[in-house]
Amino acid sequence: MIDIAWSSFTPWTALTGGALVGLAAASFLLLNGRIAGISGILGGLLTASAGNIGWRAAFLAGLIGAPGLWMLVAQLPPIEIEAGYPALVIAGLLVGIGTRYGSGCTSGHGVCGLSRLSPRSLAATLSFMFAGFVTVFIIRHVLGV
Amino acid sequence: MKSAVAALFAGLLFGFGLIVSGMANPEKVLGFLDIAGLWDPSLAFVMGGAVIVGLLAFAIARKRTLSFLGFDMKVPGHSHINKRLIVGGLLFGIGWGIAGICPGPGLVALGAGEVKATVFVASMVAGMGIFELVEHKRAAFRSDDSGERWHYKAPE
């Protein structure tokens, strides 16, 4: 049985925000001709040739600058990070290694891959979703952290 | 130059989308991943909203060889489902489940000035660096990296 958290479920802002994410991926695809895969854009920066540094850095600057620009006109919604520092380091390392080894994350395989109906990206998305569900289950319901 | 301006615009829009959707908040992401607790399905709606727009974009992109700014369309053509893809996905998923943060929201939270996000992003970049070092070493040992058996043939 699945209990829905009706008090925190926000379908309309989720759909609207999702559509914005889709628009961002769409504009990047149709203007730059590239997939808006964030792990690839960031990871590729480590070995990028001179001609490929600018657009990567610009995309990341937009992403990092978004909350600052948002705060000029409205209050930023809460960002709650409950994990402790050791957990954050382990999580970060796993996300960094895993997204590069598996060639993508929630944006590249999830949003863009599913949008182009790629079986490969569907398999990747199912893998990280499955691992995410199991990990949270173990942490919250087996270890009881 | 125009590629950088378009990329900056896309990055900003992406960041706003993550903020509006609530996905910049790791607790909300964990609420989705916690199906055995009180489940918040919002993340599925974010993906749904993004994919609806994305489907249209890729339908347009498929008919083009150049982008509207005149760049080559660099859309991946391969459809191999191999061990790397699955193992990488699983490792990423474990990390995602531990903190509730994936790369995009991590960078947005970093931009919001969250100290914890800085630690996460620094570790993530370190992980990406480790990957590059290992790949570089592997490539030096064997140029042929065809140990993959599980091959998916796309129904074209």
For the stretch B47-74, pLDDT in tens is: 999 999 999 999 999 999 999 999 999 8
Position B154 scores a pLDDT of: 43
Q: Are residues B16 and B52 in the same domain?
A: yes
Mean pLDDT of A10-30: 97
Chain B residues lying within 8 Å of A137, measured CB to CB: 34-36
CB A32 within 8 A of CB A41: no
Its pTM stands at: 0.92
The percent of residues above 90 in pLDDT, for chain A, comes to 95
Chain B residues lying within 8 Å of A114, measured CB to CB: 47, 51, 54
Q: Are residues B7 and B30 in the same domain?
A: yes
* Residue A123 CB-half CA count within 13 A: 19
Q: What is the mean pLDDT of chain B?
A: 90
Q: Are residues B6 and B58 in the same domain?
A: yes
Given a cut of 80, whether residue B142 has pLDDT beyond it is no
Chain B residues lying within 8 Å of A102, measured CB to CB: 84-89, 91-92
Count of structural domains, chain B: 2
Q: Are residues B132 and B86 in the same domain?
A: yes
Position B30 scores a pLDDT of: 98
Report the residue of A20, A46, A121 to disrupt the B interface, i.e. the one with the largest count of B CBs within 10 Å: A20
Per-domain boundaries in chain A: 11-142
Interchain contact B115–A (C-beta under 8 A): no
Mean pLDDT of A28-55: 95
Interchain contact B13–A (C-beta under 8 A): yes
Given a cut of 60, whether residue B150 has pLDDT beyond it is no
Q: Are residues B85 and B144 in the same domain?
A: yes
* Cα–Cα distance, A86 to A64 (Å, whole number): 23
| Range of the structural domain that residue B16 is part of | 1-75
Interchain contact B133–A (C-beta under 8 A): no
Position A1 scores a pLDDT of: 76
Q: What is the mean pLDDT of chain A?
A: 96
Q: Are residues B66 and B104 in the same domain?
A: no
In chain B, which residue ranges form alpha helices assigned H by DSSP? 2-21, 26-33, 42-62, 83-99, 103-111, 115-141
How many residues are present in chain A? 145
In the listed set B40, B60, B75, which residue is the last one of a domain according to the structure? B75
Position B143 scores a pLDDT of: 53
Radius of gyration of chain A (CA): 17
Q: Which residue has the higher pLDDT, B153 or A69?
A: A69
In the listed set B25, B57, B75, which residue is the last one of a domain according to the structure? B75
Query: A109, B89: Cβ pair inside 8 Å?
Result: yes
In the listed set B29, B49, B75, which residue is the last one of a domain according to the structure? B75
Q: Which residue has the higher pLDDT, B145 or B134?
A: B134
Mean pLDDT of B117-129: 98
Which of A23, A114, A128 shows the shortest C-beta gap to B13?
Answer: A23
Mean pLDDT of A68-86: 97
Given a cut of 60, whether residue B153 has pLDDT beyond it is no
The percent of residues above 70 in pLDDT, for chain B, comes to 90
Q: Are residues B88 and B45 in the same domain?
A: no
Given a cut of 90, whether residue B144 has pLDDT beyond it is no
* Cα–Cα distance, A66 to B13 (Å, whole number): 8
Q: Are residues B85 and B149 in the same domain?
A: yes
* Cα–Cα distance, B156 to B154 (Å, whole number): 6
CA-nearest residue to A13 within chain B is B21
CA-nearest residue to B97 within chain A is A132
Mean pLDDT of A22-42: 97
Chain B residues lying within 8 Å of A55, measured CB to CB: 3-4, 6-7
Q: Identify the band that residue B148 occupies on the pLDDT scale cut at 50, 70 and 90.
A: very low
Report the residue of B60, B128, B137 to disrupt the A interface, i.e. the one with the largest count of A CBs within 10 Å: B128
Chain B residues lying within 8 Å of A42, measured CB to CB: 103, 107, 124-125, 128
